[in-house]
Each structure stands twice: as structure tokens, then as C-alpha cells.
Amino acid sequence: MRHLLSAGDLDRDAALLILDTAAEMAALSDRSVKKLPTLRGRTVVNLFFEDSTRTRISFELAAKRLSADVINFAAKGSSVSKGESLKDTALTLEAMGADAVVIRHWDSGAPYRLAHADWIGGSVVNAGDGTHEHPTQALLDAYTMRRHLRDGTGALEGVRVGIVGDILHSRVARSNVLLLQTLGAEVTLVAPPTLLPIGIEQWPCDVSYDIDAVLPNVDAVMMLRVQAERMQDAYFPTAREYSRLYGLDGERMRLLPEHAIVMHPGPMNRGMEISAEVADSARAVMVEQVANGVSVRMAVLYLLLGGAKELGE
């Protein structure tokens, strides 16, 4: 594996290798010195065209724990017509000897373009592209589910996952559907019809407009961030109505089976898609998701940048 662009690029063995490697990396963070020398002398660039402090910090920490040199390149711009082009930025990074580029971009497919347009030679990691994919988020979600469900045995076959919210604009949902299908889980997407893409009936998952019917039958429910501004494009009438029909509050949470967990990729809109009671409850694993994100990203960088060989030795 040279790049990680889509969760759909991972077959079952590749996905499990990353998740198992992440577990080994997690053991490291329990030690007093949380660092491996594996990527010493390698350079990882965090190329963020979109603000995302939490994802950027997670990748930065992951790379540093592997002893890589990390450069944060905030190529922020409000419009594609302003500032330096992706190509020129890529050529610059290539000239500086970047071994891996972690890219967050507002345009769907930008990481794929970066990996295939012959601009750079290093590895490309998709840290979220437009409304397309966010594969490391799906990996950390799967990692979190493995630890919590099925007594921590790691088997996700047959696990039922509900993903609720703005599916249309969600790269998290797309990557999760692909990865969870590969791992044998059963996904149900829940949203108002306006926030589901055309053609969703052909996705490898179920779809429902009724959160109350879905919650009693899932092992994990993932609440997606919904921007209140969406109502200006008539996706829903008001934030209040959205919250009433699709938000997860304490009463709805009690529809979940006893063992079910509540997930959220963050940042949360408390009071919109999730109530404070739920967010602060014992079922909520959001803080753990963040910690797991570092382990998973360590595993991805480690495997992409040639650590696999050492791992096998």
C-alpha cells in the first residue's frame, strides 16, 4: 500500500492489519516514553487546505510519536482561485523531500489527484476531502467499536451500526459505510430524505428516515455533525425541527440496547444532533475516539512509510 485515499481501497486483511497495528501502537501510549524511533529521518507534511485543528493535531502527534519530522503546511484559502495551486504546493513539498503528505482539502478527489497526477513521489494520506471520504476516521471508528463490542474480541461481523445525520455532505459516512461493509458489519443510514444522496439505494447498507425505529436494533450509533446553516438551503425547515426528528437526546438514548455505544466524529453541536445529556453519558465514547485516532494514524503512517517490513521481522 502506497497511499490511503479511500476506505474502499482496503480489503479485509489490509484493514485488519491497520487495526491490529493500531492496537500495538496504543500499548505504547501507556508507557512513560511514548515514542518509537521507526520513522526517524522521515518527513511527514500535514497539508491542510481546510481548518481542522483536531485532525491536524492527531496526525501531528501520530507522526511525532514515530519520530518523524513533521511540517504543518496550512494552505488555507477561502477560494480555489486564490493563492497557490495544489500542483505548485505539491511540487514545493516534493522538492523539500516529503515522504508522506497528509492532505485535507475542500475538494472531493483532491488527494486522489495529488497521488496520481505525477506531481509528487511520496505517499498520500487522505485526511478528509470535500464531501467524499475520511478513511482514517472510519478506521478509528472501527477500532473503537472493536474495543467496546463483542467483549473486545475484535470481530465486527454482524455488528449493527446506525449512522445518523447529514449523510449527503458527510465524508465520515462514506468511509464508514465502505469500511464497515468490508469488515462484515451491517450499517443503517438515518437522515431526512433531503440529506441522503441520489442513488443511495445502491449503497451497501440500509436506509431509514425513522431514528426511533432504528435505535433499538443497533450496537453502535454514530451521530454526524449537522450544520444549522443547512436550513438556508432548505434541507430542513429549522434546526429545532431537525433536532426533534433526528437528534439524539436522553429519552431516545434509552431506546438503545444496554450494551450499545454512542459515537460522534466531532466537533459536536450540542443541542442540535446530540444533547448534552447524551454527550456526557457513560455510553458516549467520543473522548476515546480521539485517543484512538492517534493510534490508528500512527499505524497508517507506520505501514505506509515502510514500517511493515520491520514489523514482520
Does residue 50 touch another protein according to CB under 8 A?
no
CA atoms lying within 13 Å on the CB side of residue 300: 35
- The residue from 10, 70, 110, 222 that contacts another protein (CB under 8 A) is 110
Does residue 117 touch another protein according to CB under 8 A?
yes
Contact criterion met (CB below 8 Å) for 268 and 281: no
Cα 280 from Cα 129, distance rounded (Å)? 30
Query: Closest CB to another protein among 132 and 297?
Result: 132
Cα 12 from Cα 178, distance rounded (Å)? 11
Q: With contacts defined by CB under 8 A, name the span among 40-48, 59-67, 102-110, 149-157 that binds another protein.
A: 102-110
- The residue from 27, 199, 309, 313 that contacts another protein (CB under 8 A) is 199
Does residue 81 touch another protein according to CB under 8 A?
yes
Question: Which residue in 216, 217, 126, 226 sits closest to 179, CA to CA?
Answer: 126
**Cβ at position 224, least distance to another protein in Å:** 14
Query: Closest CB to another protein among 39 and 124?
Result: 124
Cα 119 from Cα 88, distance rounded (Å)? 9
Q: With contacts defined by CB under 8 A, name the span among 124-132, 254-262, 290-298, 301-309 that binds another protein.
A: 124-132
Place of cell 472501527: 142
Contact partners, residue 188, CB within 8 Å, separation at least 6: 160, 161, 162, 163, 205, 206, 207, 208, 214, 217, 218
Does residue 271 touch another protein according to CB under 8 A?
no
How many chain residues interact with another protein (CB under 8 A)? 29
Cα 8 from Cα 134, distance rounded (Å)? 11
Sites for another protein among residues 172-191 (CB under 8 A): 174
Query: Closest CB to another protein among 123 and 275?
Result: 123
Does residue 306 touch another protein according to CB under 8 A?
no
Question: Which residue in 129, 95, 214, 204 sits closest to 164, CA to CA?
Answer: 214
Contacting residues toward another protein, per CB under 8 A: 80-81, 85-87, 105-110, 112-114, 116-117, 129-133, 171, 174, 197-200, 202-203
